[in-house]
Amino acid sequence: MTSRIILIKELATISSLSTNVEQQLRYQLLQIEHRTYLWLYLAIDDIHNRFQESLDPTKMSIKLIPSSVNEAYKRILARVPLNQVNTVRLILQIIVSARRPLTIQEMGMALGIGRSSRSQTAAKARINPGILVQRVRRLCGLFVFVNNSKIYLIHQTAREFLVKRNIAHKPSSRYSFQWQDAERTMSQICIRYLGMDDLEANQEQTESDIQCFLSYSAEYWADHVRGMSSSQQQEMVDLVHGVYSTTTGRYRMWFPIFWKSVGLFDGYHARRSLPKLDAVHLAAFNGHSHVLRLIITSEENTINKKDSTGATALMWASYNGYYEAVEMLLSKGADINAQGRQYETALQVACCRGHDQVVQILLEKGANIHHFSGKYGNALQAASLGGHDRIVQMILEKGAYVNISGGYGGTALQYACLGGHDQVVQILLEKGANIHHFSGKYGNALQAASLGGHDRIVQMLLERGADVNAGGGHDGSALQAASSEGHVQIVQMLLEKGADVNADGGHFGSALQVASSKGHVQIVQMLLENGANVNDVVLPDVSGKVHSRFPVGCVSS
C-alpha cells in the first residue's frame, strides 16, 4: 500500500494535480486488490499520459485505468504512431530473440540492418547509439528500458505478451509474432552483417563501431537459424550455405569467435590452432539439415570425409544430438562405424553426451556396440561415465558386455562409480557387474567411488560384499583413495567396515601418509584414533597443517 501512495504522490507532483483529484485517484487505486507492483507502475504511467492528454482530468474514472498488465502493455503500444509500427515491431523482435541483452551499439547495428534491405556496408546501416536511445524511449515507452548501456524488456510478462504460443493462438496485439519469425529476423540480420562489404576491411579494428556486432553475430547466428521453422530454413538454404564458404575472409572472421564459444570436448578446445572443418562438418555440427543435404547432394565424396580432428559429419551431428541431421546422413550412406580420434565412433559420441534419440537411431541402423577404442573404451563405458541411465539400459538390452574393461577407467561400473552416478551403478549391478574387477587407473569400483567421494555408492558396494582392503592402482586401497581427497564420511564408513589403517601401496603410501601430506587434519586424527602408525607423521606446524615426514615426491619409495 505504501508503494501505491508514493507513486500517486509522484504522479500528482509531475501532473500538477489538485489535492481533490489526487485523493480521488488514490481512493480508486487503493480499492483494487491483489495487484502487483508491475501493474501499479504501468497503470501510473498510463494515467500520467492520460492526464497530459485530458482537457478535464477531474472527470477521469477508474474505468479508464488498465485492468491488467496485458491491458497496460496494449495501451503503451497503442501510442506508437502508425508510421513507426514496423520499426517498433522490429525492435521488439530483436530484443525478444536475442540470446543475451544487446548493447545499444549492437542494437543500433541490428536495427539498422533490419530496417534496410539495401545496405551493403555496416557503416551505412548503423544507427547512431545516442539517437537510438532517445528514439526507443519515445516509441516504446515503458515497454523497453536501457540499463548500463544494454536494452531490455520491462519484464518477462512482456515477452509472453508478444510471443504467440501457436499459429492458432489469437494475437494479443498487432505486435505479436511467432517465435520462429523472430528467429528468422535475427538470422537474416546476423548473416547479412557477416557479409557486409566493409566488415572484412576493418577486421583489425576490433573496437571500431563497425565491429560492434561481430561477436554476437559470430557466436549466435547458427543458433538463430536452428530456431526457424523447417520451411524457413529451406528458404534461406543458399544464404546459410554461403556463410560456410571456408575460403572467404568473412569465414576467417566469424569462425574463430564461434569455435571459442561452443566449448568442445577433451582435447579439441585446447588445440593451439583452429581445426580445419569443411562446410559439411560445419553444417552437421550446427544441425543445419537443409544445408547439409545440399552439400552432400552437390559435392561428391563429402559424406564420410574427416576433418583435421578426425571427425566425420555424422560424428559432429551425433555429438550435438541433432537427430534430423543424423537421420539424413544415415539415409545418404554415412559410415555408421567410422572411427575418429577422440570418442571414436558416432555411437560413443552420442552415448557420452547423453543424446537418447540419436543413440536409438544409431542402434536401430546397426551401430557396433562392442567397438572398443579411444579414451573411454566402448559405448557402455561412455554412457556410464556420463551418467546416462536410459542409454545404459538401451545398450545393455542390445547385448553389451557389462564387465568388459579398458580405457583409463576400467569397466562401465568403475566409470559410473567414479562419476557418482547412483542409478547407473544400480542398473549395472543388477545386470551382474563384477564389483571385484580390478583394472584401469582407479583399481576397482570401491576404490573409484571412494576417490570420487560418493558415499552412497560406497555404501551400495559394501553392502554387496566389496573387499574393503583390496589394493593396487594409482591410489592404493579405498581408504587411501578417500584419505587422499579428504572424504571424511567415506573414511569413517571404511574404517567401520574394517579397512586396514596401515595398508601400504599406491603412489603416496599409507592412508596416514597421504592424509598428512595433503593437510587433511580431521582424517589424520581419525586414522590415529584407529591405530595408524604415528611414526609416519610429525607434529603440526604453526599453521595447523600436518605434514608427512617424507618429501611428497618420494613417499612411494
Domain boundaries, the chain: 1-67, 82-199+210-228, 369-556
User: Which of 51, 40, 28 lies closest to 2 in space, CA to CA?
Assistant: 40
What is the predicted pLDDT for the residue at 279?
Answer: 97
306: left (phi over 0), alpha (psi -120 to 50) or beta: beta
Burial 348-382 (b: 16+ CB within 10 A, else e): bbbbbbbbeebbebbbeeebebebbbbbbbbbbbb
Find the helix or strand (DSSP H, E) in which 237 lies. helix 237-243
Are 191 and 222 in contact by the 8 Å Cβ rule? The answer is no
- The identity of residue 233, as a single letter, is Q
Q: 454: helix, coil or strand?
A: coil
**DSSP code for 548:** B
pLDDT reported for residue 500 = 93
Lookup result for grid cell 565412433: 345
Coil, helix or strand at residue 312: coil
Q: What is the pLDDT of residue 324?
A: 97
3-state secondary structure of 410: strand
Tell me the three cell numbers of residue 461. 558396494
Specify the pTM. 0.84
Q: What pLDDT tens digit does each residue of the chain (557 aa) get?
A: 444 444 666 666 655 566 766 676 666 666 665 566 677 666 667 666 666 655 565 555 545 677 788 888 888 888 888 999 999 999 999 999 999 999 999 999 999 999 987 778 999 999 999 899 989 988 988 889 999 999 999 889 899 999 987 655 555 568 889 999 999 999 999 999 999 988 877 666 555 688 999 999 999 999 999 999 999 999 999 999 999 999 999 999 999 999 999 876 444 444 457 899 999 999 999 999 999 999 999 988 899 999 998 999 999 999 999 999 999 999 999 999 998 876 589 999 999 999 999 999 999 999 999 988 877 789 999 999 999 999 999 999 999 999 998 777 789 999 999 999 999 999 999 999 999 998 877 789 999 999 999 999 999 999 999 999 988 767 789 999 999 999 999 999 999 999 999 988 766 678 999 999 889 999 999 999 999 888 755 444 434 444 443 323 322 32
Q: Are 189 and 113 in contact (CB under 8 A)?
A: yes
pLDDT of residue 539: 41
- Per-residue model confidence (pLDDT) at position 68: 80
Residue 465: Cβ within 10 Å count: 9
CB atoms within 10 A of CB 67: 13
Q: In CATH, which of 1.25.40.20, 1.20.81.30, 3.30.465.10, 3.30.870.10 is domain 369-556?
A: 1.25.40.20
Judge contact between 187 and 236, C-beta under 8 A: yes
Question: Three-class SS of residue 30?
Answer: helix
Q: Is the distance from CB of 532 to CB of 501 less than 8 angstroms?
A: yes
Region of residue 278 (phi > 0: left; psi between -120 and 50: alpha; otherwise: beta): beta
pLDDT of 209 reads 81
Q: Cα–Cα distance between 450 and 485 in angstroms, integer?
A: 9
Give the helix/strand (H/E) hosting 144: strand 144-147
Task: Give 484-540 as a DSSP string.
Answer: HHT-HHHHHHHHHTT--TT---STT-SHHHHHHHTT-HHHHHHHHHTT--GGGB---
